[in-house]
Amino acid sequence: MAVSVQLTHVTKAFDTTIAVNDVSLNIEKGEFFFLLGPSGCGKSTFLRIVAGFYKPDTGELRFDDTVVNNVPPHQRNTGMVFQNYALWPHMSVAENIEYGLTLRKLGKSERDEKITRALEMVQMVDYHDRAVNTLSGGQQQRIALARALVIEPSVLLLDEPISNLDAALRQQMRDEIKQIHDRTNITMFYVTHDQVDALSMADRMAIMQDGVVIQVGTPREVYQFPKNAFVASFVGETNFISGKVQQTSNGSATIETPVGTLHSKTVYHDLSEGTPVQCSIRPEALIVGNNENNHTENTITAKITAVNYLGRIEEYQLVAADVPLKAVHYNPGIETKKPGDTVQIKISAETIIPLPN
C-alpha cells in the first residue's frame, strides 16, 4: 500500500556541512515526486533519510500518520534503485529479484509468481535465468527496478537511476518508469540533476540548492513561474536581461534595461519602483525577424553571432547592447539568417518574467 510522506523541519548535517536544511514537504500517496538540483545540494541525503539510512538531526518524518524517525530501514517497506544498479553479479536475474521475497519468508510458488509479474512489468520475462553480469546496462537497470518493485514497496526511491544509460535508452526508460508509476501508483521519489527527467515524468518537483528547498510545483509551474533566477536557469534554459523597475501595476511592469524598455505582463513578485531585477526570457520566446522598420513594444535590435542548425530546431546566438541572448526557432526550413545579420527580436509581454535579484 502506498503511503503519504511528510517531512517537517527536517535537518541533517555532516560536521559543518548542512546537507538538508530545515526541509518541510508533503508528498501525497501515489505521487511521483522529484528532487532536482545540482551536485552536492543534498538530494541523496534526503533520499537516505526517507529510506532510513540516515536519521534526521532535527525534525520529523512521517509515513501516513506514523512518525518513522526511529524505524530501521528494513521495517519501512521502501524499495531503492541506484545509479550503479547494485545487483549481485554472481546471481541470476531471478535470484536477484527473489532475494527480498526470501527475506520476507514467502513460499516458493508465491515467490515465483511475484518474480514473473515483476519481470513482466519491466519487459524482461525472457531473461529469468540469465546471469546478471551478461546483461547490458539498460537491462541491468530494469532488473534493479524489478527487484525494488517485487516487494510492493510503500515508497520507491530512485537515485539517478538512468544517468548511466545512453540518450536513446534514457528516453525509453523515462517512458517505462512513468508507465510503471501510472500502473502501480506507488509513492515515488526520484532524485536527479537532469531537468529532462524531472520535466517529463514528475507530478511535482522540489528544486534544491545548498540543502534548502527553493521551490515546489508541477513541471509547468516551475518552468513558467520560476521563483528566482537560480530556478529559472536550472530548469530549462533562459536569457537574463538585468534592469530596474520603472513602474508596476496589476501584474504588469515596465523595466528599464540596456536593450531598451521592456514591458512585462507576468509579474508575480512584489516589485516596487527602482527594484533591480533580472528579466528571465526563455529562448523560444525570442521571435527573431528581419530588420524591418516597425519597432513595436518589446522589440530589440540585435546582431546574430552564431547559427546552429539542429534539424528540428535552429538556435541563434545574438548580442544586443552587449547582452548575450539565445533564441530558438522551430521547424527551420531554408537558411534565412547568418552570423553578422542585424535582426529584430520581438518578445511577448507575457513571456518576460522580472525576478528580484
Binding site residues, ligand ATP, CB under 6 A: 14, 17, 19, 37, 39-45, 193
Helix axes 93-103, 137-149, angle to 10 degrees: 20
Cell numbers given for 90? 554472481
207, 215 in Cβ contact below 8 A?
yes
Given the complex with ligand ATP, which of 42 and 153 has the nearer CB atom?
A: 42
- CB 55, min distance to ligand ATP, A: 13
| CA angle at 78 for the pair 210 and 160, rounded to the nearest 5° | 45
Given the complex with ligand ATP, which of 191 and 253 has the nearer CB atom?
A: 191
- CB 211, min distance to ligand ATP, A: 7
- CB 246, min distance to ligand ATP, A: 39
Q: Which residue has the cell 536593450?
A: 259
- CB under 8 A, 24+ apart: contacts of 62-66: 62/4, 62/5, 62/6, 62/8, 63/3, 63/4, 63/5, 63/154, 63/155, 64/3, 64/4, 64/29
- CB 83, min distance to ligand ATP, A: 8
Given the complex with ligand ATP, which of 111 and 193 has the nearer CB atom?
A: 193
3-state secondary structure of 215: strand
Which one, of 283, 290, 335, 287, lies nearest residue 309 by Cα? Answer: 335
Given the complex with ligand ATP, which of 38 and 276 has the nearer CB atom?
A: 38
- CB 35, min distance to ligand ATP, A: 8
Given the complex with ligand ATP, which of 19 and 328 has the nearer CB atom?
A: 19
- CB 191, min distance to ligand ATP, A: 6
Cα(247)–Cα(252) distance, rounded to whole angstroms?
A: 8
Given the complex with ligand ATP, which of 39 and 272 has the nearer CB atom?
A: 39
